[in-house]
Structure 1
């Protein structure tokens, strides 16, 4: 499982500080970013104090960079931190830290109101809204593409090898304002999973379902044949949650048997043959709702699945009597605690994507999940942008440097990673949320690929269903049951950067479309709307609200961002 992060708090803080920046930086005279254009992010004359690119130290005479970062609960002091000391010794660059409590953005406002702007923002994730407003429109952040080209080694190589990243980083004006955050959690990218009660299947002599029809029969047996053996009709064949948690929406896994579904997007926007489409008005969507209605009217789909919270789903799954047949979750531990309820935890196994009546069988691949911008942002007012970008570049070295012998070591012959392949490294200190002063926590690791994460040496004999074996369980189930069904002819709509006027239109339009689509979905499933007499009116309603207009905006944004 990915480590617990405070990204939502950081984003809230960023929104606060950029408001202060807007009020303090209206004068663009002499600002190298003010006249920047795509492909021309400002190339000032090289500082003679700089050593050649890719050599260390970065500078001949020590340079001080002012740095702004969120104070994380698991980092004691950035100024005395082991990673800071290593970085300063290697680069000859002193970091003068300013921090703010990530959950108290008013502290950040006080710092910025002083007018003492940093050279470098670290770990302050850059939302598309803030990038557009304070990068594109107000030029408070420095365009970075020329600096990446001329002053980096690892970033330049990364973007050359991973051209897909460039699209995620590119703003609406063609510039790059924030360096990438890459956190490729393998099993997370296939997080839309179902978990089915294997002990009930075994007791009733049933095979694991592979089609939507077979699942119907299995759930019916769960309801009617008393698999928990208490003589009561208390079994709940299938249940989900409507809010909270991680991939707990009950319908998305099932609708992958009809079309590529996304439980994180009510409008189910996808990209096919270079065109943005919405699945929520298609014949396939109608067929999927008819299947869900069939489950519901036969008492196989828990009626509270569209209203209950994830905590209520947990209560159902962990009740004294074992009553739950199947549920959606990115990881089983999100619903059933392997340490607190170990026997029941072992009763469930992941269910591979089902084949629908038309032969469709997708697993949702969240290709957007691991990518974001803003691990490092350089102020347009910085006097040392080349130094700042070179400091940032160190963090994109795929071969670790810091911490060898104390935090990690190179793998020894015979050691294997979680995939069973030869390991590359062995972690000497486990991940922890406890305060420490060795690293910068997650903001010190902006570039983590699946290959690197999965190549850390582990005990090959560990039981996947033990609390320590969770990652092994999730990796195995993902590799065997979900990755083989990743879509090849269609993908989820990528994260798109919008102009301010486009945001203004969609801010209202999407809410209206999502509310109507969500309400109608539940009504069709529960039988309050009729598929014969009400479907056409629903489709017309989506068109009247403006689904076509929304798709048009996204299409323009996609072509601007990924095709330009």
Structure 2
């Protein structure tokens, strides 16, 4: 298993809502087509917006590349959450699966899938990627040295973090305020946002600060734990409270700096500047609140991906991205910023192959998988076919076209391609001319360049794809279950009602009693093993994040 930021809750229903041509597993169609070529069954877990794979123009090139027939099994992601566990339990997996399994499945069901490491000689594109970008091999390798799946690698078009901090600059200018640089300055700005009608509509409808509701058992993206970066903690999107400082795994849940954060958030809550729905609204309500009525901005400050995708076409230009704040003026500790760039740029086990294939089908399946890692196919699988979604301007040079009339820009790549779930290798030798919506994240992310100069990416990052043994994973999961909900309930209670000062010592004692420290120790072993593999392959992540 690899320590990830979320765990999918799976049901036991098999083969429901599969909108395709065949059944679930790999033996549902004949091994050879009428043309004498082998037929491989390829199950693809599709975004709800996607059309069927056989309708996507670029997929025909895959049949040519593998010299085979492809029986597409199109499966909606919602259906797959019910089907997946039963498929694994039955052992009847498709010949090739795209986007269906993760490292957690491999620790229990690895025997169902082919170890691709001995097959790399038959996969020239994947081998070339592993050699040029050895971190792609690191993330693809299990704790015992096997490679069960090939990844998505797209570092040039991704960000170093999902969490970007936005403030309404139009409101600041109207009120004669400067962009805040410390927690105290932010509080004063938020109070002004609340009291002084910065959107000018004569209504007290401003929401000074909003954030996505923290989970019942973890912090996720776009939540106030990222403010720990002000005090030198590089917050990942991973196991609750875990982070790394100079090669040492720690947990901030019992750190005095976390207590300081809770005290500050309670102060903001008492000021009435945090959305009253911040601990209750779902994703849909959170995102719609940011856009407001589409004409008048109502949110002053929050964390998200990009302004255009967050605040809507009419209001996004009111917002600016701001770097990490100082917790206090002239503090000695240099601010850093949250980081999950390794997971954004490297998505693991995106293509897996059944271990039961015959020689002919095995050869075809390996060619099929490898074909995704050519430059042309990497671009088309992610953005869409040449002519309709992409214009090829020259060798390794591509222009990503705007969505046609009748399609939303944000949805187009997920309709006729696999979007950021597409297996492939977008690399620095390629030039991509991106539409505004896709290109916007890079300048937003660049705001944190100074903060990231205070981060050693080889020693200060809790990497999100670190493989653990099944025993390690089971122990950590059990321990986390014993303390996670308690810790998160205390956070929401302390922010909204106070009491962190009087309750802190008992809280820390309870987390330790429920084996928080054992999890830290296990995570350290997992981390040490991962870093050892990085060093063996000559990986230097500081070069990737300049």
3-state SS, counterpart of residue 396 of structure 1: coil
Q: Which residue of 2 aligns with 1:363?
A: 337
Say if 1:408 and 1:203 are closer, same or farther in 2 by CA, change over 3 A.
closer
Matched, 1:471 2:438: yes
Q: Which residue of 1 aligns with 2:119?
A: 147
3-state SS, counterpart of residue 375 of structure 2: coil
Contact 1:190–1:482 (CA under 8 A) maintained in structure 2: no
Matched, 1:172 2:143: yes
Q: Which residue of 2 aligns with 1:57?
A: none
Q: TM-score, normalised by structure 2?
A: 0.75
Q: Which residue of 2 aligns with 1:4?
A: none
Matched, 1:544 2:544: no
After superposition, what is the alpha-carbon deviation per residue over 1:157-185, rounded to whole angstroms, capped at 9, x for unaligned? 21122222223212233211111123448
After superposition, what is the alpha-carbon deviation per residue over 1:278-309, rounded to whole angstroms, capped at 9, x for unaligned? 12211222222232233233333334422333
Matched, 1:269 2:242: yes
RMSD: 4.2
Q: Which moved more, 1:313-322 or 1:515-524?
A: 313-322
How far apart are residue 561 of structure 1 and its match?
Answer: 4.2
Matched, 1:195 2:161: no
Q: Which residue of 2 aligns with 1:288?
A: 261
Q: Which residue of 1 aligns with 2:98?
A: 123
The whole-number CA distance in structure 2 between the counterparts of 1:378 and 1:167 is 19
Say if 1:356 and 1:185 are closer, same or farther in 2 by CA, change over 3 A.
farther
Contact 1:100–1:107 (CA under 8 A) maintained in structure 2: no
Say if 1:94 and 1:538 are closer, same or farther in 2 by CA, change over 3 A.
same
Q: Where do residues 44-63 of structure 1 align in structure 2 (5 Å cutoff)?
A: 63=37
How far apart are residue 205 of structure 1 and its match?
Answer: 1.1
Matched length: 485
Q: Where do residues 183-332 of structure 1 align in structure 2 (5 Å cutoff)?
A: 183-184=154-155, 186=157, 188-229=159-200, 235-242=206-213, 249-262=222-235, 264-265=237-238, 267-314=240-287, 316-317=289-290, 318=292, 322-332=297-307
Can you give the 5+ residue segments of structure 2 that lack an aligned partner in the other structure? 1-5, 16-24, 27-34, 534-546
After superposition, what is the alpha-carbon deviation per residue over 1:438-492, rounded to whole angstroms, capped at 9, x for unaligned? 9764499412437588x4335xxxxxxxxx743344332222x124422523113
Q: Where do residues 376-455 of structure 1 align in structure 2 (5 Å cutoff)?
A: 376-384=351-359, 385-398=362-375, 408-411=390-393, 424-427=397-400, 430=403, 441-442=418-419, 445-449=422-426, 451=428, 455=431
Contact 1:289–1:521 (CA under 8 A) maintained in structure 2: yes
Q: Which moved more, 1:125-134 or 1:248-257?
A: 248-257
Residue 375 of structure 1 is aligned with which of 343, 350, 363? 350
Contact 1:70–1:102 (CA under 8 A) maintained in structure 2: no
The whole-number CA distance in structure 2 between the counterparts of 1:268 and 1:95 is 44
Contact 1:223–1:233 (CA under 8 A) maintained in structure 2: yes
Say if 1:426 and 1:170 are closer, same or farther in 2 by CA, change over 3 A.
same
Contact 2:151–2:346 (CA under 8 A) maintained in structure 1: yes
Can you give the 5+ residue segments of structure 1 that lack an aligned partner in the other structure? 1-7, 18-23, 26-60, 414-422, 459-467
Q: Which residue of 1 aligns with 2:128?
A: 157
Contact 2:156–2:428 (CA under 8 A) maintained in structure 1: no
Larger radius of gyration between Structure 1 and Structure 2: 1
